Structure 1
Amino acid sequence: MTNEMKANIGVVAADSLRSMGLVAILEETAGVVAYPLKLDDVCSAPDLDLVLLDLQEPLDGILHTITHIRRERPSLKPVVMGDPLTPDQIQSVIGVGAKGFLLRSAGVSEISMAIEIILDGSIWAPRKVLARLVEAGTAGAESLAPPVQHESIEEMITGREREVLHLLMNGRSNREIAAAMGIEQATVKAHLGRMLRKTRAKNRVELTLRAMEQKEQDDE
């Protein structure tokens, strides 16, 4: 998320202390305004960009909740926090319209990074699930040409872009990459945009997964 972007995030959690903690974590991200919400008020809350749902209910209940939110507010980005699910179950949650899935035990850095990536238009989920979504063409925002497979990503990009890519592969957010490289977040996004065009990856998720797969192949 760039410094100029603003985002209003609602937090739904059964426990008020947990809700306050999640709000505090989210507001550490530049441009984010977070506040607690009741589930019944999600669809009527004004100017809401994303809702973080800390749901303590069975899978069927989660799917029903996401389906209802997406039907009533198609532009809203729901993100689910919950107990461990199988890859198939997480894929079902994403399939009905959630933009991300986080374990309830997720740490501060993971939550912040996930929210930033989702606000940038990608999806957050375990790597195995993301790989399936990329293969199905559903893990990103914009649609570009099919990926080029005959040339490695490392060969397509410049040294500076390679630094950005390696930090992406280490799970860093745009803000963390900018701090590590001593550059602005806008510059990070510019590097990322050029890499997406060169590699014809649909989004940062696909770019990162492809780069990691190629690295694993090279290491074998």
Structure 2
Amino acid sequence: MLSKGAAQAMKDTKDKKVKKAKGSLRVGLVAADPLRILGLQTIFPDGGPVEVVPLSVPGALDASGVSLILIDSACTEHIFELLATFRRTRPRFRLMVLGLEEDHEHIQRIIGAGAKGYLAHSAKESEIRMAIDVVQDGSVWAPRKVLARLLESTSAGAETTTKPAKEPKFTKRELQVLRLLAAGHPNPAIGRELGIDVGTVKKHVGNLMRKVGVDNRIALSVQAVNQKLLLKR
């Protein structure tokens, strides 16, 4: 039987773990391969800023407390149908797909079906971490050629939209954020570069989108280039 001191110590340790879990990003993982699950849990161990939560397909569709879901395409023969189901029933979820396919057209179809990111099974740890950061920030993670095609299609649509009545005016800090964002940096990297916290970066990005008249980071990057906003002083 445990002494009062030992029992209290165990309780304190458990409470600390709970507090850490509450402050971490909980990422759902839908995968059938135990090694895939173990590999990602090794990259993101307990108590870290990211917590990997293994889920079944039904469990993922009914999950709470997660905002980002990683789906291993090897666990289903109907990945496009599954993505469509998520879009219909859980539209707020950010979805990323893990897969063997590296064909750009296939990956573009995955993104077009609602995924915010695609990672090959061979992706390195640093790439996985960065991809999660980028997608959680509201951007899309995919090979450069795929992103280029997405930007082209977004740009074509942007050309038909009405430009703001007045030319947007930015603060010096907003311009710094815009240039780094257009270069593909996620919020944490922008924060480190400028010496500000992530919350402040998000506030600047929100202000930039409002001033430019767009509702996502990709469109903001496209407009920044098309309207030569990066040349402002």
RMSD after superposition: 3.8
Change in Cα spacing, 1:180 to 1:115, as seen in structure 2 (3 Å) is same
Asked whether the 8 Å contact 2:31–2:75 carries over to 1, the reply is: no
How many angstroms apart in 2 are the aligned matches of 1:51 and 1:183?
A: 28
SS of the residue corresponding to residue 56 of structure 1 reads: helix
Deviates more, 1:190-199 or 1:90-99: 90-99
- Is the aligned partner of 1:191 residue 2:204? yes
- Residue in structure 1 matched with residue 192 of structure 2 by the alignment: 179
TM-score (norm 2): 0.66
- Is the aligned partner of 1:34 residue 2:52? yes
Residues 36-185 of structure 1: pairs in structure 2 closer than 5 A: 36-56=54-74, 61-82=78-99, 83-87=101-105, 89-125=106-142, 126-132=146-152, 134-135=154-155, 146-147=162-163, 156-185=169-198
Which structure 1 segments of 5+ residues have no match? 139-144
Q: Which has the higher contact order (CA 8 A, sep 6+)?
A: 1
* Structure number with larger C-alpha Rg: 2
SS of the residue corresponding to residue 74 of structure 2 reads: coil
SS of the residue corresponding to residue 178 of structure 1 reads: helix
How many angstroms apart in 2 are the aligned matches of 1:81 and 1:109?
A: 15
Count of aligned positions: 202
Could you give the per-residue CA deviations for residues 171-192 of structure 1, whole angstroms, max 9, x where no partner exists? 3221121112111112212222
Residues 7-22 of structure 1: pairs in structure 2 closer than 5 A: 7-22=25-40
Q: Which amino acid aligns with 1:111?
A: I
Asked whether the 8 Å contact 2:32–2:75 carries over to 1, the reply is: no
Match 1:209 to one of 222, 227, 232: 222
Which structure 2 segments of 5+ residues have no match? 1-21
How many angstroms apart in 2 are the aligned matches of 1:8 and 1:81?
A: 17
TM-score (norm 1): 0.69
Change in Cα spacing, 1:37 to 1:57, as seen in structure 2 (3 Å) is closer
